[in-house]
Amino acid sequence: MLKQVTIVREGRAGLLYEDGALVRVLRPGRHVSWAWPWAPRREVALVDLRERSSTIRNQEILTADKVAIRLSLLVYFKVTDPEAAVRNVEAYEDRLYEDVQLAARRFLATRTLDQILRDRNDISDAVREDVGRSAGTYGVEVVRADVKDLAFPGNLREVMNKAIEAEREGEALLIAATKKAEVVKLDALVTAQVAEQRLAAAEKEAKVLAANPQMIRLRELEVLREIGLQGGNKFYVGVERLSGVKEGR
């Protein structure tokens, strides 16, 4: 009889096989077994359950508007079902690498370059969601997927830089035009308010004069006085001017 001791460290799981058949999963700790001459042959395969990362480098992908870009993704994952990870696929890390490649290609092939540049987070979210469904079948959870690098051909970078510069200049002109329009609008509003106040004052004065006829006569006298103060004007009050009569007689 032979004593066998197996130590499974924290953050790992041990898969116990007897004559090649999976018997059970060994949790972290010390496991002791006795091997009789006629006992089945036992083997323990360790599976890492800790969160890890994998970099999918330099993937050349053609966008929907036929622009070739080079993409690198950083994927964080962990094994949640060690039995499925070992039993369902030959090498779950290689399978995850391939799934991320295909998911990125599927997503970017439906997006134009402008859409990709507007929000790179869309790539990360789409890859994580797409790969998460398939990875679950072999016991792997995709925790996060991030765009690590996004590169373009040299001539395209130059065009993009010019486009960005033109866009900034356009935004500056738009801001200046908006401010100018606001000033013109404010001036027009002030002018309209002044005109409205003057109209209201005139209407008020007209109502007062209509209610008090004697004030109309008083207003006439004030006007005549103002005309007289200017000098050089002749006017007659209460008499009609006779035709043919010389002035001053």
The pLDDT tens digits for 172-228 are 788 888 888 888 888 888 888 888 888 887 777 777 767 776 666 676 777 777 776
Kindly tell me if the per-residue pLDDT of 76 is higher than 80.
yes
Of 19-28, 80-89, 212-221, minimum mean pLDDT range = 212-221
User: Residue 248: what pLDDT?
Assistant: 47
Query: Is residue 13 within 8 Å of residue 25, measured between CB atoms?
Result: yes
pTM above 0.75, yes or no: no
1 vs 33, higher pLDDT: 33
Mean pLDDT within 13-38: 82
pLDDT greater than 50 at residue 80 = yes
Domain boundaries, the chain: 2-48, 52-152
Q: What is the pLDDT of residue 50?
A: 93
Output the pLDDT for position 49: 92
Query: Taking Cα atoms as reference points, which of 140, 133, 128, 134 lies closest to residue 51?
Result: 140
At 249 the pLDDT is 42
Q: What pLDDT score does 153 carry?
A: 64
150 or 213, which is more confident? 150
Strands 21-26 and 12-18: antiparallel
CA-to-CA distance for 193 and 72, rounded, in angstroms? Answer: 62
With vertex at residue 91, the alpha carbon angle to CA 88 and CA 96, rounded to the nearest 5 degrees, is 90
Query: Which residue, among 60, 55, 85, has the nearest Cα to 145 in the 3D structure?
Result: 55
Give the model confidence (pLDDT) of 41-61 as tens digits: 888 889 999 999 999 888 888
110-133 pLDDT, tens per residue?
A: 888 878 777 777 888 888 888 988
CATH class of domain segment(s) 52-152: alpha beta
Q: How far apart are CA 13 and CA 47, in angstroms?
A: 5
pLDDT confidence bin for 69, thresholds 50/70/90: confident
* pLDDT of 79 higher than 80: yes
CA distance linking residue 37 with residue 23, whole number of Å: 19
Q: From its phi and psi, is residue 172 left (phi > 0), alpha (psi between -120 and 50) or beta? A: alpha
